[in-house]
Amino acid sequence: MTGIRSYRDLEVWKQGIVLAKGLYRATEKFPEHEKFGLTSQMRRASVSISSNIAEGHARGTPGEFQRFISIAMGSVAELETQIIISLEIGYFAEGTSQRLLEQLDRIGKMLRGLHLSLGKRIPRKP
């Protein structure tokens, strides 16, 4: 399909896992009343990045994979917004948010590159 044997071989998938683990640890300090609010939203968005890479790859076609990479890119933007909000309301220290945002930036760049690469493999309709 794409020449990628397993999504687990992709550095972007691996970095998404690292990000999700770090985000889970970072949100442990959030107030209890955020358990079903911002904490849950951020955790779901972080998990969604690698999950969509895996699901897209499993679909078996470059077009489907590209579509799920787009969804993962949306999760990156969603999580970036939530990290900024968390910083601005005082749930994250500057260093924590900066570290997470830098990880997200790297992941976003990798996803964009993969998305473009997959687009080159999709047959164009005449």
Question: Residue 87's domain is classified under what CATH number?
Answer: 1.20.1440.60
Assess whether pLDDT exceeds 60 at residue 83.
Answer: yes
pLDDT of residue 46: 98
The reply to whether 114 falls in a domain is: yes
The reply to whether 19 falls in a domain is: yes
The reply to whether 124 falls in a domain is: no
pLDDT confidence of 60, banded at 50, 70, 90?
confident
Assess whether pLDDT exceeds 70 at residue 125.
Answer: no
Query: Mean of the pLDDT values across residues 1-20?
Result: 89
The reply to whether 93 falls in a domain is: yes
Residues in the chain: 126
The reply to whether 81 falls in a domain is: yes
CB 55 within 8 Å of CB 68? yes
Q: Within 10 A of 29 (CB to CB), how many other CB atoms are there?
A: 11
CA 56 to chain centre: 13
Number of domains in the chain: 1
Residue range(s) defining the domain that contains residue 40: 7-119
Assess whether pLDDT exceeds 70 at residue 74.
Answer: yes
The reply to whether 56 falls in a domain is: yes
Compute the chain's Rg from CA coordinates.
16
CB 104 within 8 Å of CB 79? yes
The reply to whether 84 falls in a domain is: yes
pLDDT confidence of 120, banded at 50, 70, 90?
confident
Distance between CA atoms of residues 58 and 78, nearest Å: 24
pLDDT confidence of 73, banded at 50, 70, 90?
very high
Query: What would the two tokens of residue 96 be?
Result: 């924590």
pLDDT confidence of 37, banded at 50, 70, 90?
very high
